[in-house]
Amino acid sequence: MKISIIGVGLIGGSIALKLKQKKTADFIYGIDNNTENLDEALALNIINEKVDLKTGIENSDLVIIAIPVDSARKILPEVLDLISDQQTVMDVGSTKSGIVNAVKNHPKRSRFVAFHPMWGTENHGPKSAIAESFSGKAGVICNREESAEDALELVENVVKNLDMHLIYMNAEDHDIHTAYISHISHITSYALANTVLEKEKEEDTIFQLASSGFSSTVRLAKSHPEMWVPIFKQNKENVLDVLNEHISQLRKFKSALEKDNFEYLEELISNANKIRGILDK
């Protein structure tokens, strides 16, 4: 199978590496506005050839859109305009309602499969791509009933070859769940980094004292705004809803401390401990 990847960054690059390894892809065309990324992806053997959008699409069985969610939503209708009924398009964005609604009435809607791999890191660019990234993680396909059967089958096969386990969901539910499980973690981490940067003016002390716990909690705060601002924008209502809940949960800790109510503090912590049972199933 010949594949075009629009956006040869962390996610697009990791998919390319894995699908080449699995021989799911015979040939990969790289398409990117960032020519530095393209050259790097070529040098790293992530793509076979760098091309423009039209050439890539003309020659591919599958087109994978792996750019920030606002650009993805914008480019998808243009891509669908260019493809035939034998070609398939998928995306990898962290929000799904926006993109699905953008092509709801497009005559080629059924050639598109809305996909979201539940994996990412705080890094970016093709040099951060790792073939094994997706192994064992969840791959979510949204609104499958809106995709043609053969397009769906092709993407399911790709997801299996990424060694992910498939989950089906409608786009709206997906966006609610990812607000809880992914998007709020990023806001928390950004806010924590800003807190420490605001309060702790001695950078050397941060560096010297930073424990593995701090590094782990603040890791996501390294994630770039180019990717995350569009996600928060597209999932605004859900993110605000969870953010309000998060602030009110933090206020409970504040109140327990202020009132020296250490029994309540213990209760809050014991409740949080339940996440162990769920994550370590």
For a copy of itself, the binding residues in 179-208 under the rule CB under 8 A are 180-182, 184-200, 202-203, 205-208
Tell the smallest beta-carbon distance from residue 183 to a copy of itself (Å).
10
For residue 151, which of 83, 94, 98 has the smallest C-alpha distance? 83
Tell the smallest beta-carbon distance from residue 9 to a copy of itself (Å).
16
- Tokens 């993680």 sit at which residue? 137
Identify which range of 42-50, 97-105, 134-142, 146-154 contacts a copy of itself by CB under 8 A. Answer: 134-142
Distance, CA of 143 to CA of 146 (rounded, Å):
6
CA angle 54, 58, 61 (to 5 degrees): 130
266 binds a copy of itself (CB under 8 A): yes
Tell the smallest beta-carbon distance from residue 156 to a copy of itself (Å).
17
Q: How many CA atoms lie within 13 A of 162 on its CB side?
A: 28
224 binds a copy of itself (CB under 8 A): yes
177 binds a copy of itself (CB under 8 A): yes
Tell the smallest beta-carbon distance from residue 110 to a copy of itself (Å).
26
Of positions 137, 144, 156, 160, contacts a copy of itself by CB under 8 A: 137
* Cβ-based neighbours of 130, under 8 Å, separated by 6 or more: 14, 17
Distance, CA of 139 to CA of 97 (rounded, Å):
16
Of positions 35, 84, 86, 212, contacts a copy of itself by CB under 8 A: 212
* Cβ-based neighbours of 72, under 8 Å, separated by 6 or more: 65, 91, 93, 99
Footprint on residues 145-164 left by a copy of itself (CB under 8 A): none
Tell the smallest beta-carbon distance from residue 133 to a copy of itself (Å).
9
Nearer to a copy of itself, 21 or 195 (CB): 195
The amino acid that residue 213 corresponds to is G
121 binds a copy of itself (CB under 8 A): yes
Count CB-CB contacts under 10 A for residue 9. 26
Tell the smallest beta-carbon distance from residue 184 to a copy of itself (Å).
7
Identify which range of 33-41, 51-59, 75-83, 254-262 contacts a copy of itself by CB under 8 A. Answer: 254-262
Site string for a copy of itself, 228-247 (x = CB under 8 A): xx--xx--x--xxxxxxxxx
Footprint on residues 24-83 left by a copy of itself (CB under 8 A): none
Q: Which two tokens stand for residue 140?
A: 């979510």
* Three-state secondary structure readout of 9-42: CHHHHHHHHHHHHCCCCCEEEEECCCHHHHHHHH
Buried b / exposed e over 225-247, threshold 16 CB at 10 Å, is eebbebbbebbeebbeebbeebe
Given the DSSP bridges, would you call strands 88-91 and 27-31 parallel, antiparallel or unpaired? unpaired
The amino acid that residue 39 corresponds to is D
Number of residues in contact with a copy of itself under rule CB under 8 A: 93
Identify which range of 28-36, 39-47, 74-82, 252-260 contacts a copy of itself by CB under 8 A. Answer: 252-260
Tell the smallest beta-carbon distance from residue 108 to a copy of itself (Å).
29
Tell the smallest beta-carbon distance from residue 41 to a copy of itself (Å).
23
Query: Three-state SS for 6?
Result: strand
